Structure 1
């Protein structure tokens, strides 16, 4: 099984988080192959040059040959590249497991938080683009922690 791992990769924090999760996935089963774009030095060694065509061709080749996409949805907005990868996966009917760990999603039954939603500027919940979430849910799922992500990957094995 081949997994394409989609997340931002430009900050040290993102690269470390990506490597941490991918290491856990790779240790699940020797039959799992994970493509982590940041490991592709031909296009993501930023001391070198790769134009937009080369980046698209390399990542598309890997995504389109994958059986599953894992997409990290965290951040103020979903990373633009990740959203594009989700769209391509949807169009090619490749399942996506979205990982959304933002702590602001918790407390959905708290009456004070629910009341605050109706007050301008006081929404205590993080917004995630519902179209992109819908694309994932039409051919996959969204989970809110790494353990649940690993369980979902087992489902696809």
Structure 2
């Protein structure tokens, strides 16, 4: 029996309800045992463990290591970093990925570009096998006040998206090649994922540390040159990651940037070390969990963080 993993934002009731709605549609077609829904199937609400966040990461990773396809719900310009990490994990294993969105916005690198992408990072566009997009409301009409009618229009769009997901999975997929472990015969390669939000000087200093220790480096470049085609650069970045021995990613920001989260997931799936500067963000607290400085899929997917370049050098030598 095939196993399908539903990746979704899960920190509020409406997000969990959307994930459950999609999982319900999948279960009706393929059977309940064919679907894994995080939070629900880890019984997060009632799970009692001294390191609950770590245990949840382990439970989700156990499923990610043996799924046959992933359905990832992505919406809005600030994509959930845990979902993006899970997508990277699946992509690293060569698992087919369906991305589902009802977002009415599309994205491009400049105001006057002809390029329009469904997500604000072209690396996502590259690693997913298919994007199921239902950006418009359902047909108007029906009974009730205007709010009931508006709700029905939104539910129609969600139902249509779920139906298209079921049909796509029923049609079958061809898995992509999984990432292989990097060669130990060549000069080691370090993949560097800078922040898409600005200053790249920190990545340059990290590169100097790595080069001093014999590494060649690849700087992810899909956000560097707006004149270049970022979809082609994304392919180059992913190819470089597939040959890298380790990765250093910038996870700073309100949430881990999508590309950094993808890299963390792919490295976790293939046993590559991945390091990140301490994000310096506020900590999060949830019932029964230990405090987390990032989404638990990010925090525990990382090999370690570092506070400065000297600490990174020590991590590399450990």
* TM-score computed with the length of structure 1 as normaliser: 0.76
Moved more, 141-150 or 46-55: 46-55
Q: How far did 1:40 drift?
A: 3.1
With over 3 angstroms needed to count, the CA separation of the structure-2 counterparts of 1:47 and 1:25, relative to structure 1, is closer
**1:127–1:156 CA distance, 2 compared to 1 (3 A):** closer
Aligned mates of 2:68, 2:12 — CA distance in 1: 27
CA apart distance, 1:55: 2.2
Distance 2:7 2:46 in 1: 18
Alignment partner, residue 97 of structure 2: 96
Tell whether the 8 Å contact from 1:3 to 1:32 is kept in structure 2 after alignment. no
Two-structure CA RMSD over aligned residues (Å): 2.9
Uncovered stretches (5+) of structure 1, i.e. residues with no partner: 106-115, 120-124
Distance 1:98 1:62 in 2: 18
**How far apart, CA to CA, are the structure 1 residues paired with 2:87 and 2:172?**
17
Matched, 1:147 2:163: yes
CA deviation map 1:106-136 (0-9, x unaligned): xxxxxxxxxx9439xxxxx875221122111
1-side partners of 2:98 and 2:26: how far apart?
Answer: 13
Equivalences for residues 37-48 of structure 1 within 5 A: 37-42=38-43, 44-45=44-45, 48=48
Go from structure 1 to structure 2 and tell me whether the alpha carbon gap of 1:131 and 1:16 turns closer, same or farther (over 3 Å shift). same
1:129 to 121, 126, 140: 121
| Partner in structure 2 of residue 156 of structure 1 | 172
Q: Structure 2 matches for 1:72-111, cutoff 5 A?
A: 72-105=73-106
Greater percentage in helix: 1
Match of 1:118 in 2: 112
Structure number with greater Rg is 2
1:66 and 1:78 map into 2 onto residues whose CA distance is 22
- CA offset digits 1:3-61 (Å, max 9, x no partner): 0110011111001111111111111133861100021345x227855444322211010
Q: How many residues align?
A: 140
Post-superposition offset of 1:152: 1.0
Stretches of structure 2 lacking an aligned partner (at least 5 in a row): 134-160, 174-318
Equivalent position SS for 1:39: coil
Q: Distance in 2 between matches of 1:103 and 1:46?
A: 36
Counterpart CA distance in 2 for 1:126 and 1:151 is: 21
2:85 & 2:79 partners in 1: Cα distance?
10
